[in-house]
A and B are shown apart, each in its own frame.
Chain A
Amino acid sequence: MSLSAKQAVIGILGFLFLLSLVFVQYTEVTRRRAEAGIGEVHVIVPDSSKACVDCHVQSTPAIIDHWKSSNHATTGVGCYECHLADPKDADSFDHYGKSIATIVTPRDCARCHQQVFDEFEASHHAAAGNILASLDNFLAETVEGARMPFAPHSPTPGDSVDMVNGGASVAVGCMQCHGSKVAIEGTDGSLITMDELAPDENGQPTNLDAVAKILRTDDGRPVFHASTWPNTGIGRLNLDGSAGSCSACHSRHDFSPRRARQPENCGKCHLGPDHPQKEIYEESKHGVAYRDLKDEMNLNGKEWVLGEDYSQAPTCATCHMSGHMRNGGKVTHDPGERISWTNRPPISLRMDTDINGAVIKEKDPAVRRELVADTWQAKRQRMKDVCSHCHTSTYLNGFYKQYDDFVVLYNEKFAKPGTMIMDALKTNGLITAKQFDEEIEWTWFYLWHHEGRRARHGASMMAPDYAHWHGMYEVAERFYQELIPQAREHADHAEEEGETEAANAVRKVIDDILARPEHAWFENE
């Protein structure tokens, strides 16, 4: 090679080297931008959703922004892929030539996430909508509100209220966590829900008369009843017969895995006086470690396997749902799979579940064995598999002994006696069948529903203050200082009314309970 040719080669190579350094600089800048959360996202807008994006970037720009930062956007899952609807669906409508539905139900998500759908539908989360018409909802529907609209008490200055919506508390309280029964308004003023539509196994309505009277806007959209939509309650009862709302945890439209992994996400519902799991977690060493180390927990990771992608602290998702090294990283969308006690009812029950995932209440051991599809021991072992990433078996067994002893103490000393007293009052006619019309019913509700749950949840997640001061201390105070005196008061009142036999029956129940050694301190010398 001649000298001039070599000089030319050096010039070209020198230029290429400078170019490669520019590429290095570009890589560094891209990395920095990604770290700062302002990185470019490689969004793939599928042809089916191009028109949607072009229009909604003007009308609802934030929705498009949210979607752009989602995994869906980078994998070519656009608006239409989720919102598409069969024209036969009850809530479908034509939108610029495409048949779509406003509400995306778990059945829609199942088109791509079938296994997640199956796990979720079998979970207690999916059944959360069953609270409607339960004891809790009697409080919101009747005691707090009213089961019908009613006339205002008096005029409100600056406003004109014709009628008061008695269900307002249910709609913004209970239903936003538990889920609404989604309803479309009918042309005859009725409400059309999944009950009226009677959807088949594909989610399409079989009652075409109900479909025919769906009230629609001028552009053909079904008119949802405002008390039932918007709603992202986790047990929402949808028009296609599916239960639940994926967006309850995976907020629309970015469906952020990072957010679903954080306890704050669960804290939308799992907090407050009756089930303060979020506050309990924050008090526990787990929560303390999480606050300190969350930045190191790889929360943005594509995979989030305990022991591989992080190990600094567990969140709600870690223990109840996420994959870990011992189960091959398998995530479950049924949080009940790892829970061995249910502390929801007045008396805690072992989580033996039947083939439908329902807790078995059968007492006969032989019949019970026949019914059990998944034992509480298997559930506990699944939880231990998570715990054992950080704790030895000795530690774990010790913890579970403490927890079991605590729940059994609560059950045997307060929950079962309290239940017996309330049953005795009811069966002997000393209180009415109606709920919450007598003080003792409020007392009992506070005891098990608020304080009793706080105590048990506190014990289950290592929050000593909730187990004791916010829990068992208040349970004991409520039992000795309110429930027992109020029950006796009912008995005394009954005797004054001439119902001596009923009064004595209730007194015997109370006396038998207080005569037991664990209560002996209260009245005996």
Chain B
Amino acid sequence: MGVLVRWIQERVPITGDELRELTNEPVPNHLKRWWFCLGGTPAYLFVVQIVTGILLAFYYQASPETAYESVRYITEEASFGWFVRSLHKWAATLMVASVILHQLRVYFTGAYRKPREINWMIGMCLLVCTLTVGFTGYSLVYEQLSFWGATVGANIADGVPVVGGLAKQLLLAGEEYNDRTLSRFFLLHAAVLPTLMVILIAVHVTLIRLQGVTEFVDEKHPEKDRGSFNFFPDHLYTELIMGLVIMILLTTLSTILPATMGPPADPLTTPEVIKPEWFFYVAFRWLKLFSGTAAILSLGFIVFTMFVWPFIDAFLEKRWPRSEASVWIGIVGTLLIIGLTLWEAAVEH
């Protein structure tokens, strides 16, 4: 045993004590609250997505002639195919939800403020990547929702002044949905966006380690939040518990509500009702409320505002100190997102 340890240490020059010191970075006490684990949750689900995505890619064939049939094969014939596909679908749903919840937590605890503005913007990039990977994901099934969702998405991109046409061409690999579109979506979904996300997550986590976790002190119980605890094993246990809860939740959802398939894509039959996945409901309703370029530009403006919010917040704080303007804007914005999503969910058209 000693020989083996010595052999490894000669090649990996780090001792056990050094490793413990590295992992045992003090974690602020407020992280003992469960809802502060929301940052680790999307990362965990991202790993689930990579594993299940690789398994699905063994069977998936990205062309209009074969895509739907290959997904049907995965769902109905391949051993445990339905389970892996359902895990992938539900993990995607939970990942989007947990990214949004994580962002809300960061926003309302002011964790984006100086010196963490860049990390907020990286988080925003991760949100956009998550939504885009979701969009390209359900486009791959090549059911009616896939085809017409992609077509509507491309037409929305086309509405952007100046660069819209180019964006549409880049998305569809042509003026309209064609034989090359699906392989482009597959490449974006399974290679480009995941690689980008791995890089962004690495930078995101590195910056957290470099800057340290924002210390949050509850004014009502300051004594409870002051101080810190060890990452290993205390915080790791917390993350492990979260991971197990997620896996149980995913398995339960996958068996009780497994992923289904809609009618196959039919370019000649426009569905009477076409709706995107739930996480696009807010944008979809917004575009319906303000039709045309105005809707697209206003939506772009909102996203841009979210990107640069740390700087706007700093300006507001400087101009109106202790006004809590960002909190009120956040509450209004959150209610707006929930309201528009429920509205879109409730109506048929």
B80 with A14: CB separation less than 8 A: no
Assess A24 versus B251: contact at CB under 8 Å? Given A3-B233, A3-B234: yes
Complex partner residue of B255 from A1, A3, A17, A24, CB under 8 angstroms: A24
Q: Mark A1-17, 1 if CB is under 8 A from B, else 0.
A: 10100110110011011
Say yes or no: is B163 at the interface (Cβ < 8 Å to chain A).
no
Which residue on A lies nearest to B250, using beta carbons? Answer: A20
B251 with A21: CB separation less than 8 A: yes
CB distance from B44 to the nearest CB of A (A): 13
Q: How far is the CA of A10 from the CA of B244 in the complex (A)?
A: 8
A residues in contact with B199, CB < 8 Å: none
A13 with B82: CB separation less than 8 A: no
Interface residue ranges of A1-57 to B (CB < 8 Å): 1, 3, 6-7, 9-10, 13-14, 16-17, 20-21, 23-24, 27-28, 31
A16 with B241: CB separation less than 8 A: no
Assess A13 versus B245: contact at CB under 8 Å? Given A3-B237, A31-B82: yes
Assess A9 versus B241: contact at CB under 8 Å? Given A24-B80, A24-B83, A28-B79: yes
Q: Mark B218-254, 1 if CB is under 8 A from A, else 0.
A: 0000000000000001100110110011011001101
A6 with B247: CB separation less than 8 A: no
Q: How far is the CA of A7 from the CA of B238 in the complex (A)?
A: 10
B237 with A28: CB separation less than 8 A: no
Number of A residues, CB within 8 Å of B: 17
Assess A17 versus B238: contact at CB under 8 Å? Given A24-B80, A24-B83, A28-B83: no
B80 with A28: CB separation less than 8 A: yes
A20 with B251: CB separation less than 8 A: yes
A residues in contact with B247, CB < 8 Å: 17, 20
A residues in contact with B83, CB < 8 Å: 24, 27-28
CB distance from A120 to the nearest CB of B (A): 33
Q: How far is the CA of A27 from the CA of B81 in the complex (A)?
A: 12
Which residue on B lies nearest to A12, using beta carbons? Answer: B244
Q: How far is the CA of A375 from the CA of B101 in the complex (A)?
A: 66
Complex partner residue of B248 from A1, A10, A20, A31, CB under 8 angstroms: A20
CB distance from A9 to the nearest CB of B (A): 5
Q: How far is the CA of A69 from the CA of B245 in the complex (A)?
A: 40
Q: How far is the CA of A219 from the CA of B297 in the complex (A)?
A: 89
Q: How far is the CA of A21 from the CA of B237 in the complex (A)?
A: 22
Assess A27 versus B255: contact at CB under 8 Å? Given A13-B248, A20-B248: yes
A10 with B252: CB separation less than 8 A: no
A residues in contact with B234, CB < 8 Å: 3, 6
Which residue on B lies nearest to A20, using beta carbons? Answer: B251
A14 with B79: CB separation less than 8 A: no
Which residue on A lies nearest to B234, using beta carbons? Answer: A3
B241 with A6: CB separation less than 8 A: yes
A23 with B233: CB separation less than 8 A: no
Interface residue ranges of B241-287 to A (CB < 8 Å): 241, 244-245, 247-248, 251-252, 254-255
B79 with A24: CB separation less than 8 A: no
Q: How far is the CA of A183 from the CA of B248 in the complex (A)?
A: 65
Q: How far is the CA of A1 from the CA of B233 in the complex (A)?
A: 13
A24 with B254: CB separation less than 8 A: yes
Complex partner residue of A6 from B80, B238, B248, B252, CB under 8 angstroms: B238
A residues in contact with B79, CB < 8 Å: 28
Assess A20 versus B80: contact at CB under 8 Å? Given A10-B237, A13-B241, A13-B245: no
CB distance from B55 to the nearest CB of A (A): 14
Q: How far is the CA of A24 from the CA of B83 in the complex (A)?
A: 8
B residues in contact with A10, CB < 8 Å: 237, 240-241, 244
Which residue on A lies nearest to B258, using beta carbons? Answer: A27
B residues in contact with A17, CB < 8 Å: 244, 247-248, 251
B237 with A6: CB separation less than 8 A: yes
Q: How far is the CA of A7 from the CA of B234 in the complex (A)?
A: 10
Q: How far is the CA of A7 from the CA of B251 in the complex (A)?
A: 22
B residues in contact with A9, CB < 8 Å: 241
B residues in contact with A23, CB < 8 Å: 251, 255
Q: How far is the CA of A175 from the CA of B190 in the complex (A)?
A: 66
Q: Mark A339-380, 1 if CB is under 8 A from B, else 0.
A: 000000000000000000000000000000000000000000
Complex partner residue of A14 from B233, B238, B244, CB under 8 angstroms: B244
CB distance from B91 to the nearest CB of A (A): 14
Which residue on B lies nearest to A14, using beta carbons? Answer: B244
Assess A13 versus B244: contact at CB under 8 Å? Given A3-B237, A28-B80: yes
CB distance from B67 to the nearest CB of A (A): 18
Q: How far is the CA of A6 from the CA of B247 in the complex (A)?
A: 17
Q: How far is the CA of A325 from the CA of B63 in the complex (A)?
A: 29
CB distance from B25 to the nearest CB of A (A): 17
Q: How far is the CA of A16 from the CA of B244 in the complex (A)?
A: 9
B residues in contact with A21, CB < 8 Å: 251
Which residue on A lies nearest to B247, using beta carbons? Answer: A17
Which residue on A lies nearest to B86, using beta carbons? Answer: A24
Q: How far is the CA of A126 from the CA of B255 in the complex (A)?
A: 47
Which residue on A lies nearest to B238, using beta carbons? Answer: A6
Q: How far is the CA of A7 from the CA of B80 in the complex (A)?
A: 31
CB distance from B30 to the nearest CB of A (A): 14
Interface residue ranges of A144-175 to B (CB < 8 Å): none
Which residue on B lies nearest to A32, using beta carbons? Answer: B79
Q: How far is the CA of A459 from the CA of B83 in the complex (A)?
A: 50
A residues in contact with B245, CB < 8 Å: 13
Q: How far is the CA of A7 from the CA of B241 in the complex (A)?
A: 9
Which residue on B lies nearest to A23, using beta carbons? Answer: B255
Assess A7 versus B244: contact at CB under 8 Å? Given A21-B251, A24-B254, A28-B83: no
Which residue on A lies nearest to B251, using beta carbons? Answer: A20
CB distance from B93 to the nearest CB of A (A): 18
Which residue on B lies nearest to A25, using beta carbons? Answer: B80
B residues in contact with A27, CB < 8 Å: 83, 255
B residues in contact with A6, CB < 8 Å: 234, 237-238, 241
Known: A10-B237, A23-B255. 8 other contacts (CB 8 A): A6-B234, A6-B241, A10-B241, A13-B245, A17-B248, A20-B247, A20-B252, A28-B79
- In the complex, the 5 A-B pairs of residues with the closest C-beta atoms, listed nearest first: A13-B244, A20-B251, A6-B237, A17-B247, A17-B248
- Show 6 A/B contacts (Cβ-Cβ < 8 Å), sorted by A: A1-B32, A10-B240, A10-B244, A16-B248, A23-B251, A28-B82
B: which residues have CB within 8 A of A? 32, 79-80, 82-83, 233-234, 237-238, 240-241, 244-245, 247-248, 251-252, 254-255
